[in-house]
């Protein structure tokens, strides 16, 4: 029985997006589609242990869900043309899963809806992992370290919102396409960064979450192959994830980039990241937000050591990034790169300007960097004060430990 459950979960992971997209195409109702798909999964859990795993599990689930849809309509006595058409199509359900392009278009529509602007960020994340990622509610809850009920409620609310807003099963208007795609990429990257540097709790990283995001990004790049930023997002994640093996000591304390053993970086993954960035560049439309970030990550990934890193190039990339997507974190990172390229004094000016502007208030980032620069300038007392401030602001146990250790060393 345990094997059957795990197999059903594996099938759901592989097929969920296509199944729900097919049903949404049929019913024009994403919420209903998801409900039907879930009921089919329950049927599978009951029947497959006895009857065995079907030859084409995705088609089986789709057919069962379609049958339920028709039964529901029949009960509601909606003897309209649509019902008759569905009933007629049912015998061909076994081959429906073989469709290529049309299914992809529908999966992409589903992605846009899972990340629809009417939904909260949390809802977008939960729905994306559920419908596109094919995760169970339990799996999502475990990844975010929240109770299962919390995720269940989030998904229920999301579905109610979509229904109330009467969100149609359509791709965004061409005029909104770029913005909506940006939003989708943002949701996927949010899932990744939550894993890459956990903001709460004792875990510095949650690799599983990051890997789920990476898979979602690859799926998205496959659905939108002519979008450079989709490939660039894959590149950025592969390059950042390549350092996972080097970021933690055996006792769980974090190791910063400058101190990492680069022999532990996943060089196959770096290769994949570089290939993805090359795919983005090959589309010949220049580098956007994620591509520039990926290019920066590439500078680090291909450098044999901190000292041999092309810091001047990284500064240029941060400047470009700051022009197309200005934000204080980018500016802060630029300061760090400037410190490496030309020295801490000019970098400190950038950081002080940020602090004076009230940027990043409440975040440990700014005082952390400021402390680092002051320490390098030999201003120990001020540096220690900044590290202590930063330690008090961080929500991550491990990071707090690192900062307090730095303060104590001065």
Partner 1 sequence: MKYMLIMRATEAARQDYDKADINEIIEKMGAYNEALFKAGVMLAGDGLADSMADNFVVDFTADPPIVTDGPYGETHELFSGFWMIEVASKEEAIQWASRCPLGPGSKLEVRRVTEMSDFGEAADNPVLAQQELWRAEGGQA
| Interface residues toward partner 1, by CB under 8 A | 3, 6-7, 9-11, 13-14, 57, 104, 211, 214-219, 222-223, 245, 250, 261, 263-268, 270-272, 275
Contact by Cβ (8 Å): 318, 333? yes
Closest approach, Cβ 218 to partner 1, in A, equals: 3
Give exposure, 357-389, as e/b (b: 16+ Cβ within 10 Å): eebbeebbbbbbbbbbbbbebebeeebbbbbbb
Q: Report the greatest alpha carbon distance in the chain.
A: 82
Q: How far is the CB of 10 from partner 1 (least distance, A)?
A: 4
Quote the CA–CA distance of 114 and 308 in Å, as a whole number. 43
Q: Which is nearer to partner 1, 11 or 113 (CB)?
A: 11
How many other CB atoms are there within 10 angstroms of residue 251's CB atom? 5
Q: How far is the CB of 361 from partner 1 (least distance, A)?
A: 38
Instruction: In whole angstroms, give the CA distance from residue 43 to residue 61.
Output: 9
Measured from the CB atom, is 63 or 108 closer to partner 1? Answer: 108
Question: 3 or 353: whose CB is closer to partner 1?
Answer: 3
241 CB neighbour count, 10 Å cutoff: 25
Using the minimum distance from each CB to partner 1, give the nearer residue, 273 or 371: 273
Per-residue burial over 298-336, b if 16 or more Cβ lie within 10 Å, else e, is bbbbeeeeeeebebeebbbbbebbbeeeeebebbbbbbb
Give the nearest distance from C-beta 263 to partner 1 in angstroms.
4
Kindly state the smallest distance separating residue 255's Cβ from partner 1, in Å: 13
Nearer to partner 1, 96 or 369 (CB): 96
Smallest separation, CB 144 to partner 1 (Å): 16
């Amino acid at each position: 029985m345990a094997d059957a459950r795990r197999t059903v979960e594996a099938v759901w992971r592989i097929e969920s997006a296509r199944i729900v997209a097919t049903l949404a195409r049929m019913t024009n109702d994403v919420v209903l589609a998801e409900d039907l798909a879930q009921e089919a999964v329950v049927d599978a859990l009951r029947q497959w242990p006895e009857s065995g795993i079907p030859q084409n599990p995705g088609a089986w689930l789709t057919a069962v869900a379609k049958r339920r849809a028709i039964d529901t309509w029949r009960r509601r006595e909606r003897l309209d043309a649509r019902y008759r058409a569905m009933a007629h199509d049912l015998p061909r359900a076994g081959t429906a899963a073989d469709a290529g392009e049309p299914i992809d278009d529908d999966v992409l529509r589903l992605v846009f809806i899972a990340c629809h602007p009417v939904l909260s960020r949390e809802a977008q994340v939960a729905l994306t992992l559920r419908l596109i990622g094919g995760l169970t509610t339990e799996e999502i809850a475990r990844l975010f370290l929240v109770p299962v009920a919390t995720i269940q409620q989030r998904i229920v609310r999301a579905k109610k919102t979509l229904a109330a807003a009467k969100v149609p099963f359509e791709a965004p208007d061409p005029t909104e396409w770029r913005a909506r795609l940006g939003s989708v990429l943002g949701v996927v990257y949010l899932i990744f960064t939550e894993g890459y540097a956990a903001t709460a709790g004792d875990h510095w990283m949650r690799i599983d979450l990051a890997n789920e995001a990476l898979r979602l990004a690859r799926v998205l790049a496959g659905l939108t192959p002519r979008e450079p930023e989709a490939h660039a997002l894959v590149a950025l994640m592969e390059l950042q994830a390549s350092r996972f093996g080097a970021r933690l000591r055996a006792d769980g304390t974090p190791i910063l980039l400058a101190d990492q053993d680069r022999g532990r970086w996943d060089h196959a993954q770096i290769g994949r990241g570089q290939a993805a960035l090359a795919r983005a560049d090959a589309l010949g439309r220049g580098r956007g937000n994620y591509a520039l970030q990926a290019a920066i990550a590439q500078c680090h990934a291909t450098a044999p050591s901190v000292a041999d890193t092309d810091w001047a190039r990284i500064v240029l990339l941060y400047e470009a990034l700051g022009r197309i997507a200005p934000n204080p974190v980018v500016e802060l990172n630029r300061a760090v790169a400037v410190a490496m390229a030309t020295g801490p004094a000019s970098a400190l000016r950038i950081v002080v300007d940020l602090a004076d502007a009230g940027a990043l208030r409440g975040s440990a980032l700014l005082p952390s960097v400021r402390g680092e620069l002051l320490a390098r300038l030999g201003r120990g007392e001020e540096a220690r004060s900044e590290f202590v401030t930063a330690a008090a602001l961080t929500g991550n146990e491990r990071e707090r430990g690192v900062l307090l250790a730095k303060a104590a060393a001065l």
